[in-house]
A and B are shown apart, each in its own frame.
Chain A
Amino acid sequence: MLARIGHIAYNTYREAVRDRVLYNLVFFALLLVGSTPLFGQISIGLERIVLVNLGLTSISIFGTVIAIFIGIGLVSKEIERKTLYTVLSRPVRRWEFLLGKYFGLAGTLAVNTFFMAIGFFAALLYLNHAFGRSDGQLLVAIYFIVLQFLIITAITLLFSSFSSPLLSALFAFALFFIGNFADDLRGLAGILKGTQHWLVMGLSYLVPNFGAMNVISQVAHEQAVSGALVLQNSIYALFYATAALSAAIMIFERRNLK
């Protein structure tokens, strides 16, 4: 079982890494990250802030785009191209397939983020000629970005387990967008009354809560991120991704592959 999940994960990773679309995205991200020192020179005295904001934001956005675009190919493309048939006609359980796909993509994203982070830190070194103590906080911000990827990947997998690639991408982007405003939704629910209140409140907990995971501005201003936040965010990502994957498995296990 674990061996099969591992094989599927590795194959997914291998496919993704060889896909040229991925190269393009990583290239653009690296370019953007690498060119941030130039942006820094425009706003005098704010170089580090601009570099951190722009660099981390591009890691986050490019990673999300990669996660969603490759993520939708995970299941729906395999169904469309019938590659899934040759996998599931072997002693592979459907949930093993889904988990393998998930870990494969998570691995791909982790490797990508690693390279983009190296580019980012290189740019930072070029700017400051040395790393300061507060630069450790940047790793925390990157860790939170990876946590977001883990959640987005699970969501993408959930959508592609029952929907077409295009719709899956749309749904996933919409959720990513709303996920950044989940706490504002709760604020909105506070104003509403009755059924609407509960609907909006329920929705705000159903969508991924990314608000607490975005500490880019905070670390750009060299403010410390508390250990408790790191812990709680990790727990949140773990549970949310598990929930999304469980739902994906429940849908996929009973799906007729037409």
Chain B
Amino acid sequence: MRKRKNAVLLAVVLGAACVSLAGCGGKEKEKRELTVFNYGEYMDPDMIDQFTEETGIRIHYEEALTPEEMYTKYKSGAIEYDLLCTSDYMLQKLIEEGEFQKIDMDQLEYKNNIGERYWEFSKAFDPENAYTVPYFWGTVGILYDTTKTDGPVDSWDVLFNGKYAGEIVMQNSIRDTFMVALKYLGYSLNSDSEAELREAQELLLKQKPDVQAYLVDEARDEVVAGNATMAVVYSGEAYLGHQYNENLAYVVPKEGSNVWLDSWGVTKYCDDLDAAQQFLDFLCREDVAKKNFEYIYYSTPNEAVLASLSEEERADESLVPPDDATENCEVSVQMSQETTDLMDTLWKELKAD
């Protein structure tokens, strides 16, 4: 084993020597590369090839499922990622831990394609808009079957009043489910008050017998298949659900909800900031953003793409949330360790009941 270790060490030293020699030989010949870390199925794969064709910069593409998984993989340091796309609160955590470097926004020719509104959303976790570039965004709301509901569905109340007992699917995620209860009670979804969180838990405990299941990705499918009347889902899921079953509708309840934002950041390991910025600029470009939008069908912050959509697409609230729908919405931010622990415990109590 010891010998093995030495061999690895030798290889690393030799490798480093080669790189430094190549550096002396002239920068033009050096192959430019970027290691990109993104959620699964969150970019049109053709765009990666197109970027390499246009710029000659090679992309190593890596995927993960959840922000937590991404964080764990990134922190383990096994791969030095240059660019990373993740969600609001996780971005905040990474910025606070000094994992990101500042982006020179003036170098991004197409950054104005991203609407002012989304740069404002970003300020919740990136106050100076210095570290992140918005990629996709959306809301959390209720996906429901219009043939099985009677009366308006415009409030979280439908999940708690017992009218649809046994017909409700909630998110199997601590923050998303607490968000629903907190918003219904009129509190902030970023509440760190123990009393408010306990009140939310009490409400969820009372609701549990009415809940058919706590699911993540299958939440949408259960409504599509007619097994459940309504489910708490992400807006992108709602759009896809509507494609399968046109009786489905999506609403962001009037009490407000969560606006989520997935953005790109450049990590501290990136030593070719110019290449990274070229990549970000590429993603902001209208034709590329449109291709990605058509691949993913989440709401795009790219106003050039929005302007090119058909009337029908633009009228779909799950695809293009109107301004007033997000009025009472908040971006979720990273909670203190203490609050996170409390929520974990409250969640386990809820599940154990």
- Co-complex (A, B): no
Interface residues of B (CB under 8 A from A): none
Residues on A lying within 8 angstroms of B by beta carbon are none
